[in-house]
Amino acid sequence: MKTALRNYHARMQRVLDYIDQHLDDDLDLGAVSRVAAFSKFHFHRQFVATFGLSVHRYVQLARMKRASRRLAWNDAESVTEIAMDAGYDAPDAFARAFRQRFGQSPSSFRKSPDWAPWIAAFGPLDNARNKFMQIIFTHDDVTIRDVPPMPVAMIEHRGDRATLGTTIERFKAWCKAEGLSPETGRSSLMVFRSERCPANPADYSMDLCVGTDRPIEMNDEGMKAGLIPGGRCAVLRYPGNTNNLEPAALYLYRDWLPDSGEEVRDFPIYCQRRLSLMPDVSAPEVIVELFLPLK
């Protein structure tokens, strides 16, 4: 029974991966159901029952998330071009949908993004993407490594996660100005000093880091020098690029750690994102790994 369930989940996960990788294609119900090898007559209900939203809604949200990121980080693209790529026939229709979802026009969001409604709007998308994360991990997915220490430039975020987008914007702007963006081959890291959703939102705490041994001068962005300590770590590679690593962290703490006989070290759990520039691949692969420091 467990094997059959895992196979079913793997087929559904394959559907999400396919959609995310083919947002520019015609993602009709028949095409998507064939990816999972399910009957198109039942697939819609299966998808809704599994993920809590329809295929059409998932595709809409995924395209809108991509569009909003392009607005925030790519000034070279026009709003019209972004609207068309998001599946809208006219910029006006895109603008209405955008304002309804985020409370801002696309041009206003581009100038000064309000990240709190942005995070809330994509809750259903994040929930769908992480539906099976607690199930697909096994102990074989975890390796123990001796990790060398890494000097970093870092910015601290302290306070409500709804304001995290502003900190991320400052971090990215500084990295871009210093030539330390991920596109240059640099690793970006996040040190999680609190739960993703603490009981008191004001207690949310994390550090955004980028690997560099350069001296860090005083700056308006709040960047400073830091160090990710070396030592033994349990490492779990996350299957896909995501902004919610809570399921993976939960697996490490709840399942892997008690069975391993290991003890944690006095440093928070952290993740590392890096680009793997593989030959003959149209887009670089994002590798996400979660590190649990061990004694």
Domains parsed from the chain with CATH numbers: 2-131 (1.10.10.60), 134-293 (3.20.80.10)
Is the C-alpha dihedral spanning 234, 239, 245, 247 positive or negative? Answer: negative
pLDDT 10s digits, 72-81: 877 778 999 9
Q: How far apart are CA 281 and CA 252, in angstroms?
A: 31
Which range has the worst mean pLDDT, 3-12, 74-83, 151-160, 283-292?
Answer: 283-292
pLDDT category of residue 198 using cuts at 50, 70 and 90: confident
CA distance 160 to 198: 9
Does 287 or 30 have the greater pLDDT score?
A: 30
- For the cut 90, the answer to whether the pLDDT of residue 146 exceeds it is yes
Find where tokens 């350069």 sit. Answer: 214
Nearest CA to 128 out of 28, 54, 35 is that of 54
Highest mean pLDDT among 42-46, 99-103, 182-186, 289-293: 289-293
165-195 pLDDT tens trace: 889 888 988 888 888 876 555 678 999 998 8
Cβ atoms of 203 and 287 within 8 Å: the answer is no
pLDDT band at 267 (very low <50, low <70, confident <90, very high): very high
